[in-house]
Structure formats: C-alpha cells, structure tokens
Amino acid sequence: MNFDVAIIGGGLAGLTCGIALQQQGKQCVIINNGQAAIDFSSGSMDLLGQLPSGCPIQHFEQNYTALYQQLPQHPYCVIGQEKVMAKAQQFEQLAQELNLGLVGSSAQNHLRVTPLGSLRSTWLSPNSVPTVGQHAVFPHDKIAVLGIEGYHDFQPQLLAENLVQNPQFSHCEVTTGFLNIPELDHLRNHSREFRSVNIAQLLEHKLAFSDLVREIREAAQGAKAVFLPACFGLETQEFFNALKQATQLELFELPTLPPSLLGMRQHKQLTHYFKQLGGFMMNGDKVVSADVENYRVKRVYTHLHQEVPITASDFVLASGSFFSKGLVADFDKIYEPIFQADILAYKDFNATDRMTWTSNRFASPQPYQAAGVIINAQCQVQKCGQFFENLYAIGNILGGFNGIELGCGSGVAVVTALVAAEHIGGGL
C-alpha cells in the first residue's frame, strides 16, 4: 500500500493534518488505533490559558515573550510566534469551512461555563455552549438549569450554586429542575447504560419530539436561557438546533462526564470531511514497527498487515500521549514505541529515572505529563540527536509542555498539524 503521506493516529491532530494535506492534493492514509482523546473532550479548544508561572492570560500574542522566557522548549516556542499565530488563524478558517460551529478568536480568550459552574478560559467553543467575555456579563438574567431524572453525570443544583459565584453571572436568578422524558425509562432501569451517548441515540429515533418541547418549556418556568446536558444530538448539532427553534428559548448545552457528545461530534465531522476529500482511514489497526534508512522512514508495518507494509514519501506521528499509547511507561523508562524517538528532558525529568516522573504532592502538575518527543521548527522528529528527513510529530506526542496545566493541548494539536502539513506540502 503506497501513499504520499501516512499519518499514525486519528485524533484532532492527525485529522487536521490529513485534511490540510488532502486539500493540497496529497493522498493520505490515517492509521487509527481506536478512540481518540477528542471523544472525551469538552468540545472547546484551548490555545493557551495560563503561563507556566500560573498567571492566567487573555491575549496569547501579548504573552508569547513571557511563555518563551519561562518555557522555551514549549512547541509554540520551538515553532515561533509568527508561525503559531498564522496557523491558529488558519485553523479558525478551516473550522468555518467545515461548519464545526465554533466561536472565538486567537486575538483574545473567552470564558466558557463548565459542568460544575466554574468559568474556564478558552480559545474556541461550540456555539451551543454558554460563553461570556472576560469582563462581560451574561446577557440573560434568568436561567433554568435542567437535568434529566436518573441521569447522574450532570448535577443542576451544584452547577447553579457555583455559577452565581462568578461576577459574570452574579446578577442572574438561576433555577433548577429535571426533565422526565418517559422514553428514557428503559435506560433508567439499566443504570450502566444511562450515559449521554445512549440517551442521544434513543432520543433521536424514539422520541415524541413535541412532548419534549413542551416539557422543556414548562420546566423553564419563564426563564429565557436554559442550560441542558449535552445529550441531544449524536452525529451533529442539528437535533439540538431543532429543539432550540421549537422551544423558542435560548438553549445551551454543557459537556457531561466522558464520553462527550460535543467532542464526538467534532471527531465525526473531521473524519467525514477527511474521507470526503479522498483520504483513506485504516480503523482498528496500529503501527507496530518501521523500516528506517539514514534517518529516512521507508515503510511501516501494522498489527493487521504485518506482511503488507505501508510505504509513503512522508510519515506523521500523531499517536497521542499515554492515553492512546503514543508514549509507553515501563517500570524503568518512558519511551516512544515505534521509532524510539528522543524523549525531551523537562526540568528535572529523566525518562529513565522513575523517581523524577512524579511530584511529591498528588494535586501538583506531574512531570511525566510534559514528557514527549523532541521536534524542530518544522515538527521533524529527533532520534539520537539527529532529525528525521521525512518523519514529523504533532499533538500530544510532543514533549515540553503540560497541556492540562497550561490549557493548550488542542492548540498545540492543530498548530503543529498545520505546520507539518505546510512543510510536507512544500510551503516552507
């Protein structure tokens, strides 16, 4: 099997890179091992939420110098400010082309409401999620937070109590309630199946739509804005939009415990667009080994096709971190399992010294979370101090940053994906 580019990993980074390359006329294959981290995400995408010092930021561009001074090995710092900003804006345009329904700008972070009622700074959010500007107030003064009877992954009272503690919502009257939705009685009797995905599947196919509209309107008790758990619309946002139009209320949805419908929708839309452009998906398979000559990857072998290698001109490592086994931690070492790429030494972290992997305080950011492979400004991978000619790494497989602590995981994924795609396509 021969392609122009073989991408190892089908999450946000891999799909973004694949779409950009297909748009350039490259023939790509994505080798996808299974569920990606995007399926468990909130649906919002972070560019950079805070500096390593802990200082929250609103404007990425204004804080780039501080980021470079505090964490020069961060992928953004390796790539360079001008390129990072250009690729962030390129992804915003791509999201519009794909109708992902994202709002926000790299010029300034906004705040999104979390399922616990706190506010989190972020770059892009689904337009169905309640958001507010850094110094703005929510435009509605009466909010109804509605859960679903028997569904424990969304707690309206907890959300409501925390929400009004934020200055942006302190003026709001927030009430709570629960929707019964009789069609869900079967799931209630099987609590292990009472999850967002199962609810959405059932509602789209076996629901008396007018009854749901009436129940929401009655439970809102006169509130114009209504917050709901993200359980309405599995494949796309169309079902939720239809519900919003029929109720004539300002409906908003919030992500629940994983898996998250908001992230799953984005994954499905990106996958669909990649295929629509002619990209080829190899699902349920994983790369187990590779042939390399003089720092050039010739071919890779997968678990299901060990006798039929995949050849390509360029290869992209988008296999994620520990969650998706892009990185592996044995008792005595952390390593990248396919190419044995160099692992970045982060502060006092040593990939072969287990005692440096964790912090003494459980709640502190853990050093191993910033482990990953080393790249140059073109996202080419380093091994034994030398960079591969045609192997690139993007997304959470990269070292030098803690995406959870800094609020930048999604941004690193899409920025590095587009940088690699541009270099492969000859744009650099």
Q: What DSSP line would sit under 62-91, residue for residue? A: GGHHHHHHH-TTSHHHHH-HHHHHHHHHHH
First to last CA, the chain: 28
Please, are residues 225 and 249 in contact by the beta-carbon 8 Å criterion?
Answer: yes
CA 363 to each of CA 127, 248, 353, 406, 407: distance values in angstroms, whole numbers, following the listed order: 32, 44, 21, 15, 16
Q: What is the pLDDT of residue 186?
A: 82
pLDDT of 304 above 60:
yes
User: pLDDT tens digits, residue range 237-273?
Assistant: 999 999 999 999 999 999 988 778 999 999 999 999 9
Q: What is the pLDDT of residue 258?
A: 78
pLDDT of 175 above 70:
yes
Q: Residue 40 CB: number of other CB atoms within 10 A?
A: 15
Distance CA 107, CA 96 (A): 17
Please, are residues 9 and 407 in contact by the beta-carbon 8 Å criterion?
Answer: no
Percent of the chain with pLDDT over 70: 99
Q: Which residue did the predictor score with more confidence, 203 or 129?
A: 129
User: pLDDT tens digits, residue range 67-102?
Assistant: 999 999 999 999 999 999 999 999 999 999 999 999
Q: Which helix (H) or strand (E) holds 262?
A: helix 261-276
Q: What is the pLDDT of residue 427?
A: 58
Q: What is the pLDDT of residue 244?
A: 95
Q: What is the pLDDT of residue 188?
A: 85
Q: What is the pLDDT of residue 193?
A: 79
pLDDT of 324 above 70:
yes
